[in-house]
Chains A and B, each alone.
Chain A
Amino acid sequence: MSAPALPAADARSAAPRSPASGQARPRKIKVAHPRAIAIFIVPFAILFTLFYLVPIGYAIYQSLLVVERDGTFGKATEVFGGLTQYLLVFQNGPFWAAIGRVLAFGVVQVPVMLGLALLFALLLDSPLLRGKRFFRLAFFVPYAVPGVIAAIMWGFLYSPNLSPFTAITGNISFLSADLVLWAIANVVTWVYVGYNMLIIYSALLAIPTEIYEAARLDGAGQLRIAWSIKIPLIMPAIVLTGIFSIIGTLQLLAEPQVFRSFSSAVTSTFTPNLMVYSTSSIPNVNLAAAFSVVLALATFVLSFSFLKFTQRKEGK
């Protein structure tokens, strides 16, 4: 039998639940160690409720309110407005322009970043390279640079008079309205390629090498092995990096916010999250809440459909 302390605890907390112990109804599962489970689960559950579920609920609640005033200068009161804020969201041109901008960003930046990460991971996993340890570290170092700091650095590097590359920045103005989105895409790529590379690389390391033996005996080269064996096997890792990249893209905030001090082309409505921030500081909290809810839903739907889509392709 187990420790004297625990069965006692079991009996005590289980007693009120099934008074007719011994002849409990068959469908009711008797939980062993309820007190230990509570000790393990409750701290996280409380924090998760307070700082995830409650804010989500509160954002939805706030987004359903409108501010009404008695006359122009009257007292403001919040009243239930139904979907009024959501109508405003859908009629808000700048918001959809911002969504379009981050989608364009994502369609280009995410495949480029993940393509490079996959290429580097496959090269690291191949017998073609020397100094793998060095490359792995060198490519990962930018991940240690927070987004804000990376944006400040690259802001300097792009500035025509401060950049070490004046030969380039003198001819191409990276901070112009046409290019600044892609200048930001480069910053994000620079920070996260090595990180994604390591996720994919460790998935490659988990493949037992015996799998390659037969292919090698059949005379398959590295390229063939990568394409027909490695990539299909590491699909889950690639999907994971894809989902996190989608979430990150729609949430772009720090980098464009920093770029506002380098380029006037980055407006306060440049990305959806910048709109949330600037709308809430006007303040129009209810509209900002509605933006947040729409954005979170969009992120969720996009990540989820990406997951489903790639699963269907895999499972064919």
Chain B
Amino acid sequence: MSALTETPTVARPSKRLKNTPTPKVAKESPLSRVGAMTVMLVFTLYFLIPIWWLFIAGTKSSAQFTSTNPLWFADFNLFANIGNLVAYRDGVFLKWMLNSALYAGAGALLATLFAGMAGYALAKYRFPGRELLFNIVLGGVLVPATALALPLFLIFSQVSLTNTFWAVFLPSLVSPFGVYLTRIFASASVPDELIEAARLDGAGEVRTFFTVSVKLMFPALVTVFLFQFVAIWNNFFLPLIMLRDETLFPVTLGLYAWNSQVNQIPELRGYVLIGALLSIIPLIILFLLLQRFWRNGLGAGSVK
């Protein structure tokens, strides 16, 4: 396990970002510069063309979707399309987006809190069973979430929790990876002397955590939040297996359901496309808002 526990990228958050780079540049040949730029530009096309195509598709009427150049604008119907999508079936799409935001937002927030507290305790206190607990949690990092979905379904159906909000929400509150990450980060960035000082000032342990340690652990906590948010937002198997009532669906499951009915109801194709476009915007905004955190924090890796 030591490669996992000793990932240096977490322990020493990028020194070079602060006292910025500009290493003394040995002269690079123009040929390698051109080569490097070419590689990157070609792959930029590979990564962005599908999204560009989706955007263009979202701006077209269904008649023009097949009859005009797929990579360039025709009549600009984006807002009409969005209006139709939102109106379709009493606005079920908006309900899905809200569900996703709730599952992922509230779920990731609580998961981060619980993981942060546990990771902090594992890093800063000595108690019997500490290493055992940490190793069990580390094993949990390697257990794929999809392997848990079926047994969770069986258990939840016995306590009549399937097809409820809680069936998807509760399991997403656990982030073993978050415990692993916050433990490593807390050992490296919350000095024992500071906790001692807080004790001398008369602060309780819990208060010290929330007022002092949380601030020092903030980059790690934001990273855990982002990873958990993305994991829940992208989660497919758990809602697929748990939910029947479409008003509880997250947006991924809703669009999947529409897409598998396109053959029977052709008008759904347009809704799937514009819905797909809208569904990726929140994550892009979140990444842009928090980018200085994920840039540093990503070094710790994540659960796919």
A residues whose Cβ falls under 8 Å from a Cβ of B: 2-6, 29, 31-37, 39-41, 43-45, 47-48, 50-52, 54-56, 58-59, 62, 116, 119-120, 123, 126-130, 135-149, 152-157, 161-164, 190, 192-195, 198-199, 202-203, 205-209, 212, 216, 221-222, 236-237, 239-241, 243-245, 247-248, 250-251, 253-254, 257-258, 260-261, 273, 276-277, 280, 285, 288-289, 292-293, 295-296, 299-300, 303-304, 307, 310-311, 314
Who on chain A is nearest to B54 by CB?
A153
Known: A48-B174, A51-B171. 11 other contacts (CB 8 A): A40-B125, A41-B118, A44-B118, A142-B50, A153-B276, A157-B53, A162-B66, A198-B295, A206-B9, A206-B13, A289-B150
Contact of A209 among B21, B200, B283 (CB under 8 A): B21
Q: Which residue in chain A gives the minimum CB-CB distance to B241?
A: A277
Complex contacts, B36 vs chain A, CB 8 Å: 123, 126, 128-129
Q: Is the CB of B79 closer than 8 A to any CB of chain A?
A: no
Q: Scan B49-69; emit 1 where CB is below 8 A from any A CB, else 0.
A: 111011001000000001001
- Complex CA gap A44/B272 in Å reads 38
Verify A206–B8 contact, CB threshold 8 A: yes
14 inter-chain pairs at a CB distance below 8 angstroms, sorted by A residue, are A31-B128, A36-B204, A37-B121, A41-B122, A147-B236, A190-B46, A202-B298, A205-B299, A206-B299, A241-B301, A244-B303, A250-B144, A254-B236, A254-B252
Interface flags for B230-259 (1: CB within 8 Å of A; 0: not) read: 100110110011000000000011011001
A6 near B205: Cβ-Cβ < 8 Å: yes
Q: Provided the pairs A144-B283, A149-B280 are in contact, do residues A154 and B50 lie with their beta carbons within 8 angstroms?
A: yes
Does the CB pair B28–A258 fall under 8 Å? no
Q: Is the CB of A236 within 8 A of B6?
A: yes
> Residues of B contacting A4 with CB < 8 Å?
202
Take A135-B44, A254-B237 as given contacts and tell me if A128 and B127 are in contact as well, using a CB distance cutoff of 8 Å. no
A161 touches B202 (CB 8 A): no
A158 to B103, CA, bound (A): 32
Q: Given contacts A190-B47, A205-B17, is CB(A240)–CB(B301) below 8 Å?
A: yes
Q: Which residue of A lies closest to B19 (CB)?
A: A209
A34/B276 in contact, CB under 8 A: no
What residues on B are CB-neighbors of A141 within 8 Å?
47-48, 51, 284
Q: Tell me the interface secondary structure of chain A in the complex.
A: helix
Q: Could you say which residues of chain A place their CB within 8 Å of the CB of B265?
A: none
Residue in B closest to A189 when the chains form the complex, CB atoms: B46
Given the known A-B contacts A276-B150, A296-B147, are A2 and B200 also in contact in the complex, defined by CB atoms under 8 Å? yes
- Beyond A41-B118, A202-B14, A250-B144, is A128–B47 a contact (Cβ under 8 Å)? no
Q: A153-B50, A251-B147 are in contact. Are A212 and B23 (CB under 8 A)?
A: yes
Q: Which residues of B contact A253 (CB under 8 A)?
A: 146, 236-237
Q: Is B91 an interface residue (CB 8 A)?
A: no
The reply to whether B48 and A138 form a contact with Cβ atoms under 8 Å apart is yes
Closest chain-B Cβ to A30's Cβ sits at a distance in Å of 10
- Measured CB to CB, the closest approach of chain A to B50, in angstroms, equals 6
Given the contacts A248-B304, A258-B259, A299-B147, A237 and B14 also touching, CB distance less than 8 Å: no
B286-304 at interface with A (beta carbon < 8 Å): 287, 291, 294-304
Q: Is the CB of A296 within 8 A of B287?
A: no
Nearest A-chain residue to B144, judged by Cβ:
A251
Contact check, A58 vs B155: say whether CB atoms are below 8 A apart.
Answer: yes
One of A45, A56, A208, A295 near B151 (C-beta < 8 A) = A56
Q: Which residues of A contact B188 (CB under 8 A)?
A: none
In the complex, the answer to whether B40 meets A129 with C-beta atoms within 8 Å is yes
**Which 8 A-B pairs have CB atoms at the shortest separation, nearest pair first?**
A36-B205, A164-B70, A202-B299, A40-B121, A44-B118, A55-B151, A144-B283, A248-B304
- In angstroms, Cα B206 to Cα A33, docked, is 10
- With A47-B114, A52-B174 already in contact, the answer to whether A142 and B47 are too (CB < 8 A) is yes
CA A77 to CA B133, docked complex, whole Å: 38
A239 touches B233 (CB 8 A): no
Question: Residue on A with the closest CB to B279?
Answer: A149
Q: How far is B24's CA from A307's CA once the two chains are assembled, in angstroms? A: 36
Residues of B within 8 A of A31 (CB): 125-128
A127 surroundings in chain B (CB, below 8 A): 23, 25, 28
Q: Are B273 and A240 in contact (CB under 8 A)?
A: no
Q: Is the CB of B142 within 8 A of A247?
A: yes
Closest to B178 in A: A44
Say yes or no: A52 contacts B148, CB within 8 Å.
Answer: yes
The answer to whether the Cβ of B84 comes within 8 Å of any Cβ in the partner chain is no
Least Cβ–Cβ distance between A172 and chain B, in angstroms: 17
- Smallest CB gap from A215: residue in B: B26
**A120 with B40, Cβ < 8 A, contacts A6-B205, A247-B304 known:** yes
**Contact (A300, B143) CB under 8 Å given A40-B118, A47-B174, A289-B151:** yes
CB distance from A19 to the nearest CB of B (A): 18
Instruction: Return the contact of A40 from the options B151, B171, B209 (Cβ within 8 A).
Output: B209
Contact of A146 with B234 at beta-carbon distance under 8 Å, contacts A59-B151, A222-B32 already known: yes
Task: Determine if B212 is an interface residue (Cβ-Cβ < 8 Å).
Answer: no
Please report the C-alpha to C-alpha distance between residue A126 and residue B280 in the assembled complex, in whole angstroms. 31
Q: Which of the listed residues B144, B147, B200, B272 has the most CB atoms from chain A within 10 Å of its own CB? A: B147
The listed residue with most A CB atoms (<10 A of its CB), out of B146, B199, B200, B241, is B146
Is A163 touching B128 in the complex (CB atoms < 8 A)?
A: no
Is there an interface contact between B9 and A202, defined as CB atoms closer than 8 Å? yes
Contact residues in B for A126 (Cβ distance below 8 Å): 28, 36
> Given contacts A140-B287, A206-B8, A206-B9, are A6 and B204 in contact (CB under 8 A)?
yes
